[in-house]
Amino acid sequence: MKQHISHESGGLPLDQGVLLHRNQNRSTVACRNGVVCASQPLASIAGVDILKAGGNAIDAAICANAMLSLVEPMSCGPGGDLFAIVWREEERKLLGLNASGRAPYDWNIDKARELGLREIPSHGPLSWSVPGCVSGWEALQQRLGRLHLAQTLEAPIGYAREGFPVSPVIARGWSFVPGDDPGFVGTFGPDGRPVRFGEVFRNPGLADCFSTIARGGADAFYKGHIAERIVKFSREKGGYFSMRDFEDHTVDWVEPVSSSYRGYDVWELPPNGQGIATLQILNLLEQFDIGSLEPNSAEQLHLFIEAKKLAFEDRAVYYADMDFADVPLAELISKEYARRRVELIDPRRAAVTVPAGRLKNSSDTVYLTAADSEGNMVSLIQSIYHGWGSRLVPDGLGFCLQNRGQLFSLNSNDLNRLEPHKRPFHTIIPAFVTREGKPVFSFGVMGGDFQPQGQAQVLMNLIDFGMSVQQAGEQPRVSHEESSTPTGIKMSGGGIVGLERGFPDSIREGLSSMGHSISKSTGVYGGYQGIWREDGPLRYFGGSDPRKDGCAAGY
CATH fold of 255-364+428-554 reads Glutamine Phosphoribosylpyrophosphate, subunit 1, domain 1 (3.60.20)
Residue 76 in this model has a pLDDT that exceeds 90: yes
Looking at residue 318, its pLDDT comes to 94
Residue 263 in this model has a pLDDT that exceeds 60: yes
Query: Of 470, 527, 445, whose CA–CA distance to 25 is shortest?
Result: 470
Find the mean pLDDT for residues 306-310: 96
List pLDDT tens digits, range 115-151.
999 999 999 999 999 999 999 999 999 999 999 999 9
Q: Is-contact 82 254, C-beta < 8 A?
A: no
The H or E element spanning position 541 is: strand 539-544
* DSSP per residue, 316-343: HHH-S-TTTS---HHHHT-HHHHHHHGG
List pLDDT tens digits, range 489-530.
888 888 999 999 889 999 999 999 999 999 988 888 999 999
Residue 486 in this model has a pLDDT that exceeds 80: yes
Residue 451 in this model has a pLDDT that exceeds 90: yes
Which of 321 and 179 is assigned the larger pLDDT? 321
Please count the other Cβ atoms lying within 10 Å of the Cβ belonging to residue 20.
14
Residue 181 in this model has a pLDDT that exceeds 60: yes
pLDDT band at residue 18 using 50, 70 and 90 as cut-offs = low
Find the mean pLDDT for residues 156-169: 97
Looking at residue 9, its pLDDT comes to 43
User: Under 8 Å CB-to-CB from 444, ≥6 apart: which residues?
Assistant: 367, 369, 379, 380, 381, 429, 430, 431, 451, 455, 528, 529, 530
Q: Quick one: residue 31, left, alpha or beta (phi over 0 = left, psi -120 to 50 = alpha)?
A: beta
Q: What is the rounded distance in angstroms from the CA atom of residue 95 to the CA atom of residue 58?
A: 12
Q: What residues does each domain of the chain span?
A: 52-82+90-252+388-407, 255-364+428-554
Q: What is the rounded distance in angstroms from the CA atom of residue 450 to the CA atom of residue 480?
A: 8
Query: Of 348, 338, 9, 469, whose CA–CA distance to 195 is shortest?
Result: 9
The verdict on whether omega for the bond into residue 537 sits within 30 degrees of 0, i.e. cis, is yes
Q: Is-contact 197 240, C-beta < 8 A?
A: no
Find the mean pLDDT for residues 74-102: 97
Query: Of 532, 432, 381, whose CA–CA distance to 65 is shortest?
Result: 381
Query: In this structure, what are the phi and psi dihedrals at residue 284, rounded to the nearest 5 degrees?
Result: -75, -45
Exposure string over 94-113, b if 16+ CB within 10 A, otherwise e:
bbbbbbbbbbbeebbbeebe
Q: Kindly tell me the burial class for residue 195, based on how many C-beta atoms sit within 10 Å of its own C-beta (0-12, 13-18, 19 or more).
A: buried
Q: What is the rounded distance in angstroms from the CA atom of residue 271 to the CA atom of residue 318?
A: 9
Residue 362 in this model has a pLDDT that exceeds 60: no
**Catalytic positions, written as ranges:** 365
Q: What is the rounded distance in angstroms from the CA atom of residue 86 to the CA atom of residue 309?
A: 30
Find the mean pLDDT for residues 53-68: 98
Share of the chain above pLDDT 90, in %: 88
